[in-house]
Structure 1
Amino acid sequence: MTRTKMFARLLSVRWPNTFATIHRPCYLCATAPSMMCHRQPMHRTTSIMCVKRPLTLCRDIGLRIQTRWPSCASGQRTIQPSGCGNMPGNWWSNCHSASKVIPTSRRITISTSLPMDVLLIEDLSQQRLPAHALAAVLQQAGLRTRLARFGADQDADEVVRLAERERPRLVISSILFAHRVPEHLALITALRRASVRDHLTMVGPLPSFAFAELLTACPALDSVLCGEAEASVVQLVTSLGDPARWQAVPGLAYRSPTPRGNPLPKPLASLDDLPFPVYDDGLPIRLGYGFATVEGSRGCYHACTFCLPCAFYRAGGAPHYRLRSPAHLVDEMEALYRRGTRLFLFDDEQFLPPGHTREERVAALRHELQRRRLRIAFTIKCRADDVDAALFRQLKEMGLLRVYIGVESGCQASLDLLGKGVTARRNAEALAVLDSLDIVADFRSLLFHPWSTLETVRADISFLHNAVSHMATCFSFHEVEIYPGTPLANRLRAEGRGEGGRWPLPYTLADPRAELLRRLSRFVFSPSGAHAGIQDLLTQAWYDLLLQRHFRPVRFEADRARKLKAIATGLNAQSLHVWREMLAFAGEGDIYDADQVNERACAWASRVCSFRVRAEGELAERMSPKEFLRNNFPFYPRAV
């Protein structure tokens, strides 16, 4: 085989990432290239692709090779080798004169990917910001990053293969929800078993508080980066070559040999100093409109006893509530708008600032949007005591479609225990105001907490019954999850409760009848069952309708909105009827008759399934087949 044919065959092979072996010496010449070494792109783990051999081949057949360089602003440079031999010294300048002997008709272009520094793993389908924000900070520092999707339906093997192929220096597992922690730990273990030798770390509010448990439970996990990761993640990446340096990174927890944590990094002084989150993986689109998650603030000025994000920001020493300036926030929104985004999902724990400043902030945001002629739609999260008719009328005119409102409970005893600082009556008034403004409201009912009784649950169900006429979405029934760092966790531990060492802390209700009701709720209204399925369908239908009403009012059908609300009202009424039956059985039935309990539970679950079938039929009657099929694929996150 001639050298020309042999090199052509080499070019047709799908070689691994050029920079994947950046810190590994060439097998043939034992050269250990540095980051900026010009010979680096030619180094491979195979001797055929040694720096010396391909240059000689290029000289013989006259090829022009284009490859990417980390120091090149345009992303490409041209290597033009001629009779350079082994290329001692500054071989780039020695080769510079070769272009005149290279036939243009025989040029071959090799496009090789840039070195991978960090692989960020997160459930990107949830449309949350942590991974995108971290990627922006890393890229601003000149580090190459990639986002890896790891959803509930995602195969961990795909992430493992990606890590093996890219060989990043650091792998970051971003935890959004506690129930996904076991899956992330299993993924980290699988990465290590697959001979991925990179540094494996974890970030998020829960890992920040539970780093000792996580490091003990998962030997494959190298560290946990606590606090606001943006403040120290770059220092971690650049220190990985020296254990003494990376173990001194602020906020880093590691084994020495038992788990220990460094003092948290200094809080970010201003949110305006952070770069905009990156969306290298593209923006999702619905009905031709792009949508993206944005963050106008961090933290919260309230003190709910169960809230993990609030405990997280308070523990970091930062102000309890920090705002971005309206101009900086709208700068990001405008950049996303130019990319096709029209729906903005605000992920703030508390969208509105306290007191009179909220009117000033809304006015400033409105001015910026009007000045730049941005016609948008958006959703927010807020509390019941934030809802004011005049203020929310302005927000609706600005494009507010939907509100995730922190009602949590309609039982005053439970509201006081959760530290909400609001009355059940105020919760009811807020729902009524939003309904009068034709703004769709959504909330989670936290029916159970460690001190629940049948009376507290009965009060919640009564509250929901009175709120049925104001709701255009399905009720969702949940339990309070107890996370580390929160006042509820401290109280539960002080009482000697909270069985086991995992998070959220498991607990059992003191009243066995209330505990039975709680277990019936898990079975009948399972988060992965029929009730949750119809919630998804209605969520998609409402988003489609609200987007159409806002951006295409001529095509909006008011009757369809009334029918959607009627479906939700009917479902809520039927669900509450099941709840009243369950309450009656838990209060007076023989709760120790296992056969009877199981029989009743199956009957109630079957009725909930029939509700979904009936609702799907009603939705199908009111939509075109194309619309119904589209809404059977959940696309927007529910309230969290």
Structure 2
Amino acid sequence: MPVILLEPPRPENPSRFEDVVNAPLSACLFTGYIAAVFRKYKIETEIVNAHLYDWSIEQTIVHLLKRSFPLLCVHMVYLWEMTHDIFDMLSVIKSKNNMVHINLYGYYPTFAYKKILTDFPFIDSVTIGEPEFTSLDLARYILSQRGIPHSPSSEDISPFLKGGLKGITGLARRDKSGEIIFHPRHPMQDLDQLPYPDRQDRELYKKKNITTYIQGSRGCYGRCTFCYLNPFYGQIGQWRGRSVKNIVEEMLILHREYSIGNFYFSDANFFGPGKSGRERAITLAELILINDVNIHFGFECRVNDIEEYSLSRLVMAGLTNVFLGLESGDPESLKRLKKHTTVDENKKAIQLLRDYGIEPTFGFIMFEPHSTLESVRNNFEFLKEVEIMTSSAVTAHLLHHRQTLFEGTPDYQSMMHEISNPHTSFTRYEALYKIHDPKIEAFSEIITAVCRAVLSFIPKDFDCDGTKTSNTSAKSSSSDTANNALITLFEKTLSGFEAHTIDYYNSDKVKEVSQKLISEIEANMQSSS
């Protein structure tokens, strides 16, 4: 009778297209690490990755109801309005098997646990923060209570078995009176103590051409106000890295035993802080080179971490892909977001990567609660100067992207204190705000509508799988036209707001402007096809 680790389905939500928000959540490897820890301690475990299998909610329910299991641990991901569908699914599972203990883990439940445990009585517990060893304690307790053998050892004779669930640190739950209780657990400091994550569906990942993720570190030394990473781990400004030897050994095993040669570090910040962080990166590159393996890898980092010598060694070792957290081309926005970087550092990092043959991808926030016409103009001029608006898909994401305010981030807390009756979405996890300057709010509304329309056009006119077709050149021409039109219309509309020629207080007028721009881009695309 195994413990089930579930990666739920992720129903498509056409009204939400900021996929970058959830990208790290699918790559964080928590489920694989929990499974590896369970198996290390002889706990029978099965990963059900409904998201990877492309299962519907109905298919997932059918599969799980065929099984008998005492504990269901669910990696819960925030899906905006569709989040409730996953809770409905779990409610059905609980109603058919009321003896199963349902536990949630991940970023979203860590910050929304009080609301979740209050609103959904069929959820028995929520793991807060780092899930591996809290999940282990929970599994041991549940299995012991059900009399299910799980290779007991001296380590099983621990206080939580005598004190019940209340003795498990890192676990939020309701007591007999219905009060929600939680005792924090300190994050592990030695990440090498974790076994390598389980990769149960390795062949399916390869078949779908999904990059193999490696986690080399946890946390970040930055303190950006839009990020909940360090609060998730219950600490501020703390970065912890696996040893270079431990990381490279895992990569070599995957390369030599399974012919995997393409990796991506799911770390929020690949580099550790300062000089020691760069030296660690150099050591990793040297160890890969010493082992003489032909692999490629990518990572995410801050712009101030990009330095020539460490970059040169990493490129020699196989670095081909870098995601840069630029966030803004406006000095005041960078200060508000507490990036502790400058616009010049953004430019220098981009240029240095290009000098070494790497065209980076970017994290960028065009609009945030305190945006002004000046900050938006500075952002736009920056994007033009560094020449990163290269395709209609990339440009549409860059030009519309609006900061999300998720619970756990400093900006969320600031917004909740700033307005007396904040409008929040499902389970209050996301604060839905209006930009302070009504001109920018109206401009953002127009540009978001236009960019959403452009993104909706793309599947109709372009192949997304990279397959060449007989009319590839025509489609490329159409893409170029859409991209150029989008950039031109953004600048034209921004200039209109700067010149006060658009009645931004009139919502009907704003919608009219949006529709006119959408029609103009669509006409341009059709004429070039």
Q: Which position in structure 1 is the counterpart of 2:309?
A: 390
Q: Distance in 2 between matches of 1:229 and 1:294?
A: 17
Q: Which amino acid aligns with 1:167?
A: S
- Compute the TM-score of the two structures, normalised by the length of structure 1: 0.68
Contact kept in structure 1, 2:286 and 2:317, CA below 8 Å: no
Where 1:439 maps in the other structure, the secondary structure is coil
Offset of residue 595 of structure 1: 4.5
Change in CA separation of 1:303 and 1:570 when aligned onto 2, cut-off 3 Å? farther
Q: Which position in structure 1 is the counterpart of 2:292?
A: 373
Q: Which position in structure 2 is the counterpart of 1:34?
A: none
Change in CA separation of 1:567 and 1:353 when aligned onto 2, cut-off 3 Å? farther
Q: Distance in 2 between matches of 1:535 and 1:379?
A: 29
Offset of residue 602 of structure 1: 2.3
Q: Distance in 2 between matches of 1:342 and 1:574?
A: 39
Q: Distance in 2 between matches of 1:448 and 1:366?
A: 37
Contact kept in structure 1, 2:30 and 2:132, CA below 8 Å: no
Q: Distance in 2 between matches of 1:609 and 1:226?
A: 47
Deviations 1:194-228 (A, max 9, x none): 44541111111231122111112222211111121
Q: Which position in structure 1 is the counterpart of 2:125?
A: 223
Where 2:211 maps in the other structure, the secondary structure is strand
Indicate whether 1:464 and 2:383 are aligned. Answer: yes
Indicate whether 1:308 and 2:219 are aligned. Answer: no
**Which residue of 453, 456, 466 maps to 1:530?**
456
**Which residue of 69, 76, 100 maps to 1:168?**
69
- After the TM superposition, which residues 399-410 of structure 1 pair with which residues of structure 2 at under 5 Å, given as runs? 399-410=318-329
Give the paired residue count. Answer: 480
Offset of residue 252 of structure 1: 1.1
Contact kept in structure 1, 2:282 and 2:314, CA below 8 Å: no
Q: Which position in structure 1 is the counterpart of 2:504?
A: 591
Deviations 1:243-293 (A, max 9, x none): 961243111111234452321223213110101111112245669977310
- After the TM superposition, which residues 60-75 of structure 1 pair with which residues of structure 2 at under 5 Å, given as runs? none
- After the TM superposition, which residues 145-156 of structure 1 pair with which residues of structure 2 at under 5 Å, given as runs? 145-151=45-51, 154-156=55-57
Indicate whether 1:321 and 2:239 are aligned. Answer: yes
Offset of residue 364 of structure 1: 1.9
Q: Which amino acid aligns with 2:245?
A: A
Deviations 1:293-333 (A, max 9, x none): 001111101111111112212x1x59811111111101111
Q: Which amino acid aligns with 1:174?
A: H
Where 2:387 maps in the other structure, the secondary structure is helix
Deviations 1:384-412 (A, max 9, x none): 11122333222222111111100011111
Change in CA separation of 1:172 and 1:603 when aligned onto 2, cut-off 3 Å? farther
Q: Which position in structure 1 is the counterpart of 2:116?
A: 214
Q: Which position in structure 1 is the counterpart of 2:193?
A: 273
Change in CA separation of 1:116 and 1:307 when aligned onto 2, cut-off 3 Å? same
Q: Which position in structure 2 is the counterpart of 1:505?
A: 431
Larger Cα-atom Rg: 1
**Which residue of 574, 585, 604 maps to 2:485?**
574
Q: Which position in structure 2 is the counterpart of 1:199?
A: 101
Q: Distance in 1 between matches of 2:134 and 2:454?
A: 37
Q: Which amino acid aligns with 2:29?
A: L
Q: Which position in structure 1 is the counterpart of 2:38?
A: 138
Q: Distance in 2 between matches of 1:349 and 1:394?
A: 21
Q: Which amino acid aligns with 2:361?
A: D
Change in CA separation of 1:335 and 1:232 when aligned onto 2, cut-off 3 Å? same
Q: Distance in 2 between matches of 1:319 and 1:522?
A: 33
Indicate whether 1:345 and 2:345 are aligned. Answer: no
Q: Distance in 2 between matches of 1:437 and 1:570?
A: 30
Q: Distance in 2 between matches of 1:612 and 1:332?
A: 47
Q: CA RMSD in A?
A: 3.4
Change in CA separation of 1:569 and 1:536 when aligned onto 2, cut-off 3 Å? closer
**Which residue of 184, 187, 207 maps to 2:86?**
184
Q: Distance in 1 between matches of 2:57 and 2:483?
A: 37
Change in CA separation of 1:319 and 1:335 when aligned onto 2, cut-off 3 Å? farther
Change in CA separation of 1:598 and 1:493 when aligned onto 2, cut-off 3 Å? closer
Identity %: 24
Change in CA separation of 1:398 and 1:573 when aligned onto 2, cut-off 3 Å? farther
Q: Which amino acid aligns with 2:252?
A: E
Offset of residue 564 of structure 1: 12
- After the TM superposition, which residues 551-630 of structure 1 pair with which residues of structure 2 at under 5 Å, given as runs? 572-586=483-497, 587-607=500-520
Change in CA separation of 1:592 and 1:488 when aligned onto 2, cut-off 3 Å? closer
Where 2:365 maps in the other structure, the secondary structure is strand
Q: Which position in structure 2 is the counterpart of 1:515?
A: 441
Where 2:430 maps in the other structure, the secondary structure is coil
Deviations 1:403-452 (A, max 9, x none): 11000111111111111001112112222222222202111321122222
Q: Which amino acid aligns with 2:409?
A: T
Q: Which amino acid aligns with 1:186?
A: D
Q: Distance in 2 between matches of 1:608 and 1:207?
A: 41
Contact kept in structure 2, 1:289 and 1:341, CA below 8 Å: no
Where 2:121 maps in the other structure, the secondary structure is coil
- After the TM superposition, which residues 68-87 of structure 1 pair with which residues of structure 2 at under 5 Å, given as runs? none
Q: Which amino acid aligns with 2:414?
A: R
**Which residue of 387, 400, 408 maps to 1:485?**
408
Contact kept in structure 2, 1:119 and 1:146, CA below 8 Å: yes
Where 2:299 maps in the other structure, the secondary structure is strand
Contact kept in structure 2, 1:291 and 1:342, CA below 8 Å: no
Structure 2: gaps of 5 or more residues: 11-22, 146-160, 469-473
- Compute the TM-score of the two structures, normalised by the length of structure 2: 0.81
Where 1:461 maps in the other structure, the secondary structure is helix
Contact kept in structure 1, 2:453 and 2:518, CA below 8 Å: no
**Which residue of 425, 445, 453 maps to 2:344?**
425
Deviations 1:70-113 (A, max 9, x none): xxxxxxxxxxxxxxxxxxxxxxxxxxxxxxxxxxxxxxxxxxxx
Where 1:588 maps in the other structure, the secondary structure is coil
Deviations 1:533-566 (A, max 9, x none): 599967x65xx99xxxxxxxxxxxxxxxxx9999
Change in CA separation of 1:409 and 1:288 when aligned onto 2, cut-off 3 Å? closer
Q: Distance in 2 between matches of 1:319 and 1:469?
A: 30
Q: Which position in structure 2 is the counterpart of 1:444?
A: 363
Offset of residue 348 of structure 1: 0.6
Change in CA separation of 1:319 and 1:248 when aligned onto 2, cut-off 3 Å? farther
Where 1:505 maps in the other structure, the secondary structure is strand
Q: Which amino acid aligns with 2:512?
A: E
Q: Distance in 1 between matches of 2:70 and 2:359?
A: 45
**Which residue of 332, 339, 342 maps to 2:250?**
332
Q: Which position in structure 2 is the counterpart of 1:7?
A: none
Change in CA separation of 1:578 and 1:537 when aligned onto 2, cut-off 3 Å? farther
Offset of residue 612 of structure 1: 7.3
Q: Distance in 2 between matches of 1:415 and 1:442?
A: 18
Structure 1: gaps of 5 or more residues: 1-114, 546-562, 618-640
Q: Which amino acid aligns with 1:577?
A: T
Change in CA separation of 1:343 and 1:464 when aligned onto 2, cut-off 3 Å? same
Q: Distance in 2 between matches of 1:577 and 1:411?
A: 20
Change in CA separation of 1:405 and 1:571 when aligned onto 2, cut-off 3 Å? farther
Change in CA separation of 1:371 and 1:438 when aligned onto 2, cut-off 3 Å? closer
Q: Which position in structure 2 is the counterpart of 1:299?
A: 219
Contact kept in structure 2, 1:531 and 1:612, CA below 8 Å: no
